[in-house]
A and B are shown apart, each in its own frame.
Chain A
């Protein structure tokens, strides 16, 4: 009796309510986009909205099961679960390809995508591994094993091929960062092997912050490539300048802002360090972007073309640019308050100007129908969910729970940032669903299960110690 009370009492209602809100908005958008006047009933299972509701029902059922089962089983069966999803990823490679990828298990519309469920298995095993009491965080074995857990499913997913989910899996690397996994065990031997006398590192800044640095480098490089070739035109003040100077200016602003931010939070004694860090960061990032820019200009024509295509810089009416261009038109035409529910024009399935507008590009019809107000609410709701999960993660006593929560937060953040980002030119066009929103059973089920596992773990946070 007491235990039951504590379960209900520890249940995180705000997160659950936000989750339900997203689900309702998602179903509503699918109904709007895929509306078929011959089957107006939202529960018509021959239509996508009917099916989506069915998937939602199944997901909630799974969620209820998750809640009834003691959360201990994830710790106990972490390895079998992981192996199970891995075997699914292998089996799927022998399935007939759908749209050029062997991603579907099962037949017709009832198929599932094992890659979606692999996220759960990976998150659980990673949590299990990192929570194992006496892992030596600085050992080479730990680093390799932790990365291996992530890398194995990634390789199988790349074989399908499913580039989107592959990219999403890199989210787990940030979890390693949060848990303090340093890459020094891999970097130090190389550095120390260099025949420079008297040089011996015990710890490097790069190794400690390897993952964030790696991503800053990637983001800066992509940004450079995106902007350096173009002309930035500030219409309202009538100034035009070369794209690279825009990147330069952007870096300067970021570093200056970072300096003042650090001055604010650092103690008086450390203020000089803030300036040093900012200047070093600025010099390093400028060097990096210059090298990338220079290297890109020196590339052979076809290589350059390929990169441009991937980044959507080259106008290719049948390629990525077509989708993005129409997606941006749909989003941008929403205006402040939108065109009204079920009044999307560009992104409705009837006109079909935006392909995949009920799955990967579902943000388009939503933004077109609800305008900036709706888009802002959606962004805030997602941020709330993600930050709430971080908050939940930080209140866990058990490392297992914390790692799992961070993994979930990072996966959600990736999906959110890439999916919405590709509608607004902030991310390359990668086909991944918007969690709880996009039409599709697999993502609906896997995200819901992750959600319920987290809620369950959180509700039992006081019961476990490790």
Chain B
């Protein structure tokens, strides 16, 4: 038999297999990109490099926030061979038990993987991956450990950077950084578990401007997850870019001096440059050293104590504490009265103590003197004229109309609404309007006599020290303001555009003249309430406030309040000072503090004086009653 025909069986099989293989190869290599992606997944890793955050300068170019190098002690379990626990414990200064616990903790917790879809958190720990064994070691600590690390295979150091504050001031302005939470990781791809994010202050407000641009390095990894080299010689790599330095309007020396003055006192100082709206200093007391909240280790160590402190050092009082303005509001009552035409410069009202209490002084026969003497009955009368303008027959309806006009005026001074200052944690204060009282008393159930305490800045009116400092700046500017802000230069440019918009109040410039003259007399004339506010060689204008306050029915010591600007012509600084439960009037404590701040800012230093010593020595922290 001849079987030669069978050769075709072979030829056909061989050819078919060849064609089949070539087709499959064509599909796998050219058509389908599944396997290319899989290859990337297997061998290429994206390593993100986070640049150090932007450094911060004060208005005079002094570096107030910088970055410091820290180290993480990393471990890769797979590479650890015969760990001498005793020697290792001695090296890092732990106990053997602590080391074992830390291992267990890493295995259980560090590699946590949160599945967005199932909402389950599972451990993703892999023995070939690096994990930080100890985070945030300082250079000093690392110097002791590093030379001996060769004896402990599987452990190595990794460089990281954290915040450093050369001046221990301005914690409430600067804020602090903390590790991101899961929600933040989900919302913004920039963050990975363990990344740091601005948690308060300007670090939070300007997070995007602070964090810079991440660098991405593509690396080739081996099956053991070791780095073999860069991918295509780094062709696709990008460099991590630190954000441009940020310049604040803060004068760090003024800030530091203010914090020194308020030591052992509860209160705040806010100083603004009236011509620009830049915040020169913002002091909240008691305060804390920002270096206390750098890195997880320190946050864990110090945060609970700060949080539990009854004097609330973490609470940014100048932004979030709402005080009654007391007599400082009389400045605005005068201005509104003049603008509304219900009084004129020479209007006089008798100091009738039967209406509202007052101290002993002659009756004011004009607005200027009324400001100087801070006459309560005078402002009772003025405010009644503002609120009840006799436009309607019904005194209820009349009060409604008048109060709303009054509230609108105050709103134009940045009161009763949140300022757009570049920081988080701001509160709006309260300027009551008709709706506000309608809620309390009912529609047309109240009139001026019901709400009269607002006339002297008591009762429902509340504002923050920042807002009051802004009022001082408006006085200095005679009727306008820029929204107070911290950042003077962003990305080498000016501040955010919104801070270059001039806000005009509803009061004309001409009405400021008599009121400001009154403020000058407060400081310089016999019968003025704040002669302690004088500064040599500078004409200071100011207004005291003495705020009565209660806790429940219990009357506490008065808050001492003062607002001022100086010099009178061409003002350089406007400020508000609150000293809580200081006792005495605004002139006793707040006025001298303001004068020292002005002196510091104008002259760059303060000559030692009994006035300064008295403030530095005063301990007003524990006295509430």
Query: For B6, B20, B29, B39, which residue has the most chain A Cβ atoms within 10 angstroms?
Result: B29
How many interface residues does B have (CB within 8 Å)? 41
B30 touches A424 (CB 8 A): no
B14 touches A383 (CB 8 A): yes
A178's contact among B10, B228, B229, by CB below 8 Å, is which? Answer: B10
Beyond A331-B35, A351-B221, is A376–B3 a contact (Cβ under 8 Å)? no
Beyond A372-B25, A409-B10, A426-B24, is A333–B228 a contact (Cβ under 8 Å)? no
User: A325 contacts which chain B residues (CB < 8 A)?
Assistant: 38
B28's contact among A331, A387, A394, by CB below 8 Å, is which? Answer: A331
Min distance, Cβ A217 to any Cβ of chain B, angstroms: 15
Name the interface residues of B26-76: CB closer than 8 Å to any CB of A.
26, 28-30, 32-36, 38-44
B222 touches A351 (CB 8 A): yes
User: B25 contacts which chain A residues (CB < 8 A)?
Assistant: 331, 367, 372, 375-376, 379, 424
Q: C-beta contact mask, A393-423 vs B, less than 8 Å → 1, else 0?
A: 1100000000000100100010001001100
Name the interface residues of A305-335: CB closer than 8 Å to any CB of B.
325-326, 328-335
Min distance, Cβ A285 to any Cβ of chain B, angstroms: 16
User: B229 contacts which chain A residues (CB < 8 A)?
Assistant: 350
User: A121 contacts which chain B residues (CB < 8 A)?
Assistant: none
How far, in whole Å, are A383 and B220 apart by their CA atoms in the complex? 35
How far, in whole Å, are A144 and B9 apart by their CA atoms in the complex? 24
Beyond A328-B35, A424-B25, is A390–B43 a contact (Cβ under 8 Å)? no
How far, in whole Å, are A346 and B220 apart by their CA atoms in the complex? 9
How far, in whole Å, are A325 and B34 apart by their CA atoms in the complex? 11
A335's contact among B1, B29, B224, by CB below 8 Å, is which? Answer: B29
B36's contact among A332, A350, A386, A417, by CB below 8 Å, is which? Answer: A332
How far, in whole Å, are A390 and B11 apart by their CA atoms in the complex? 8
B7 touches A335 (CB 8 A): no
Question: Is A253 at the interface (CB under 8 A from chain B)?
Answer: no
How far, in whole Å, are A347 and B222 apart by their CA atoms in the complex? 10
B29 touches A353 (CB 8 A): no
Beyond A352-B222, A379-B22, A417-B17, is A335–B30 a contact (Cβ under 8 Å)? yes
How far, in whole Å, are A336 and B29 apart by their CA atoms in the complex? 6
Question: Is B550 at the interface (CB under 8 A from chain A)?
Answer: no
Min distance, Cβ B198 to any Cβ of chain A, angstroms: 39
Question: Is B4 at the interface (CB under 8 A from chain A)?
Answer: yes
B26 touches A372 (CB 8 A): yes
Question: Is A463 at the interface (CB under 8 A from chain B)?
Answer: no
Query: For B43, B220, B229, which residue has the most chain A Cβ atoms within 10 angstroms?
Result: B43
How far, in whole Å, are A346 and B223 apart by their CA atoms in the complex? 9
What residue in chain B is nearest A327 (Cβ atoms)? B35
Question: Is A96 at the interface (CB under 8 A from chain B)?
Answer: no
B18 touches A379 (CB 8 A): yes
Question: Is B21 at the interface (CB under 8 A from chain A)?
Answer: yes
How far, in whole Å, are A346 and B42 apart by their CA atoms in the complex? 7
How far, in whole Å, are A336 and B26 apart by their CA atoms in the complex? 8
Beyond A178-B10, A386-B14, is A420–B21 a contact (Cβ under 8 Å)? yes
B29 touches A332 (CB 8 A): yes
Question: Is B15 at the interface (CB under 8 A from chain A)?
Answer: yes
Name the interface residues of B179-199: CB closer than 8 Å to any CB of A.
none
User: A380 contacts which chain B residues (CB < 8 A)?
Assistant: 18, 22
A367 touches B29 (CB 8 A): yes
Question: Is A19 at the interface (CB under 8 A from chain B)?
Answer: no
User: B21 contacts which chain A residues (CB < 8 A)?
Assistant: 379, 417, 420-421, 424, 426
Q: Is the interface of A mostly helix, strand, loop or mixed?
A: helix
A426's contact among B20, B44, B228, B231, by CB below 8 Å, is which? Answer: B20
B24 touches A424 (CB 8 A): yes
A346's contact among B20, B26, B33, B43, by CB below 8 Å, is which? Answer: B43
How far, in whole Å, are A380 and B15 apart by their CA atoms in the complex? 10
Question: Is A240 at the interface (CB under 8 A from chain B)?
Answer: no
B39 touches A329 (CB 8 A): yes
A332 touches B28 (CB 8 A): yes
What residue in chain B is nearest A261 (Cβ atoms)? B12
Min distance, Cβ A286 to any Cβ of chain B, angstroms: 20
How far, in whole Å, are A2 and B412 apart by their CA atoms in the complex? 119
Q: C-beta contact mask, B80-118 vs A, less than 8 Å → 1, else 0?
A: 000000000000000000000000000000000000000
Min distance, Cβ A334 to any Cβ of chain B, angstroms: 5
Q: C-beta contact mask, A121-162 vs B, less than 8 Å → 1, else 0?
A: 000000000000000010000000000000000000000000
B30 touches A330 (CB 8 A): no
User: B17 contacts which chain A residues (CB < 8 A)?
Assistant: 413, 417
B228 touches A351 (CB 8 A): yes
B39's contact among A179, A332, A382, A386, by CB below 8 Å, is which? Answer: A332
Give the top 7 A-B pairs by smallest Cβ distance, nearest first.
A332-B35, A333-B39, A180-B3, A329-B39, A329-B38, A372-B29, A383-B18
Residues of B within 8 A of A (CB): 1, 3-4, 6-7, 9-11, 14-15, 17-18, 20-22, 24-26, 28-30, 32-36, 38-44, 220-224, 228-229, 231
19 other contacts beyond A329-B41, A331-B28, A333-B38, with CB at 8 A cut-off?
Answer: A328-B28, A328-B35, A329-B35, A331-B35, A332-B36, A332-B39, A333-B40, A352-B223, A352-B224, A353-B42, A353-B222, A367-B25, A376-B26, A382-B18, A383-B18, A394-B4, A409-B10, A424-B24, A424-B25
CB<8 Å pairs between A and B, sample of 6? A332-B28, A335-B29, A353-B222, A367-B29, A372-B30, A387-B11
